[in-house]
């Protein structure tokens, strides 16, 4: 099995895993330490194992280059100025590491299963 990696995951408001509430008041992006199981980083289907307290979950994640929730990056403006989306620095990229003034993307949970 692979080594543990650190990733950023978006959790919607009220997210919970096995009864353990992860984010009660509002959605947000948090750091999660996971063990990759299947797929590759920055893909639309990346399966990992994550522990929440005493319980372990298999999560199927999708990469979002423009982050998610309140931290979502607008494609129609940058630094407060309107732009053509095709001129945006994220256009045609995966934004894995962040691009100067823009933070890197994040993962979004698509499926969860307790293991």
Sequential pLDDT tens for the chain (115 residues): 569 999 999 888 777 765 556 666 777 888 889 999 999 998 999 999 998 878 899 999 999 988 888 888 888 888 888 998 888 888 777 777 777 777 888 999 999 898 9
Q: How many domains does the chain have?
A: 1
Q: What's the pLDDT score for residue 66?
A: 87
Using alpha carbons, select from 8, 15, 25, 17 the residue that is nearest to residue 64: 8
pLDDT reported for residue 21: 60
> What pLDDT score was predicted for residue 20?
59
**C-alpha dist (Å) from residue 51 to 48, 62, 110:** 10, 18, 17
Distance, CA of 12 to chain centre: 11
Q: Answer yes or no: pTM beyond 0.85.
A: no
pLDDT score recorded for residue 38: 96
Burial 60-81 (b: 16+ CB within 10 A, else e): bbbbbbbbbbeeebeeeebeee
Could you list the residue range(s) of the whole structural domain that residue 16 is in? 5-114
């Amino acid at each position: 099995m692979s080594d543990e990696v650190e990733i950023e995951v978006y959790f919607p408001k009220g997210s919970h895993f096995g009864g353990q509430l992860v984010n009660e008041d509002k959605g947000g992006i948090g750091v999660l330490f996971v063990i990759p199981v299947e797929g590759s980083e920055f893909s639309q289907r990346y399966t990992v194992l994550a522990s929440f307290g005493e319980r372990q979950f298999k999560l199927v994640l999708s990469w979002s280059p423009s982050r998610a929730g309140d931290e979502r990056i607008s494609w129609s403006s940058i630094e407060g100025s309107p732009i053509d989306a095709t001129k945006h620095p994220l256009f045609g990229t995966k934004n894995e590491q962040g691009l100067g003034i823009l933070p890197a993307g994040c993962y979004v949970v698509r499926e969860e299963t307790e293991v």
